[in-house]
Each structure stands twice: as C-alpha cells, then as structure tokens.
Copies of this chain bind each other. A is one copy, B any other.
C-alpha cells in the first residue's frame, strides 16, 4: 500500500454504484429510497443491482463502513506523521477531521443522519468505529494534559466538542464559497489549540 497521503482527497474512495447511492440517499433519505430507485440511479436493472448487493441495507452498510474506514486510516497516517509531538498530534488530527468533512460532505451527512436506519449489528459496528475514532482524540488530549502541554479538564467532553465542530463543517461548507478546505482546516487547528489553552 505504501504511505497514505491523508491530505489528498482527489480520488473518490467509493465505487460508482455506491457513489450514486450516496447521492440518492442524501436526497431522499434511506427510508424514502427504494432499491428500484438505487438501481435506476446507477443505470442498472434490479437483478443487476442485486448481483452486487443483497439489499438496500447492504448498500448503506457498505457506504458507512468505507467512510469510517477511510477516516480511520487517514487519522492513523496523520498520527504517524506527527510522531511523539503532542501539539502536532492534535494539530494534524484536527486538520485531518476538518479536511475529511469538507471534502466528504455527503458521506458525513449520511453517517450522521442514517445511523438510526442501520440494523442492530451494523449499527453497533458503526458506533464502535466512531468510538475508536473518538478515543484517538481523547488519548491525544490526555497525553497533552499529562505532559503539561494542554490545559484540559474533561478530555472526553472536549473531544466531543472538537469532533462535532469538525463534523459540522460538512453541514455548511460549500465548494462555491470563499473558503478552501485547507484554509478552514488551518482555522480549526487554531481553534483546537485555543481550546486546550495553547496560543
């Protein structure tokens, strides 16, 4: 696989069928979308769709899993790049979250709105993936506090505030707006630094 370029979002991580499904789910919601609609959007017959996926549920699950996995691998690569410098660990982690949610708005929207639509096993897996993602940030905050670099009273509380601030980018960011994902990410890194008492 080689080194992952976690700042690069040029290539879509989803195969075409799932990319079409994301657009359809975003427009009509999971429950408002039929398997027939998904097939039509992807230019497939219904049997053609079923050749790839057993059900509508299997499609949303595949989308969620790929999205969470993409974010996780990027976060690990950012963490590796930062090495042992905890201020840099925080900075690159936030940069990664901010870039992901600016570049992958539709995926982020689905992940937050359709978690409720997953069947129990898939939902539990998706929640576990979120928790793992959250613990990575909590650990960085705790390490910074232990080393006396950060002033953090409640690391899990602050982690949630930071994460929802970053996921919120997917709600308002527009490629037509004046800000680039890169400049937004830089601003959010500064916000995070202020929140831990740096700067």
Contacts and interface: CB of A to CB of B under 8 A. Distances in A.
Interface of A: 26-33, 112-113, 116-117, 153-154, 157-158, 160-161, 163-165, 167-169, 171-172, 179, 184, 187-188, 191, 194-195, 197
25 contacts: A26-B116, A28-B31, A29-B29, A29-B30, A29-B31, A30-B32, A31-B31, A31-B32, A31-B33, A32-B32, A112-B113, A112-B171, A157-B184, A157-B187, A161-B165, A161-B191, A164-B167, A164-B168, A164-B169, A164-B171, A165-B165, A191-B195, A194-B194, A194-B197, A195-B195
Contacts of A179: 157
A160 B164 contact: no
Nearest to A153: B187
Contacts of A29: 29-32, 113, 117
A126 B187 CA distance: 28
Counting every copy of the chain, the complex holds 2
Contacts of A26: 116
A172 B164 contact: yes
A172 B167 CA distance: 13
A68 to B, nearest CB: 16
Nearest to A154: B187
Contact of A160 (B30, B168, B194, B197): B168
Contacts of A117: 29
B157 A168 contact: no
Given A29-B29, A29-B31, A31-B32, A172 B195 contact: no
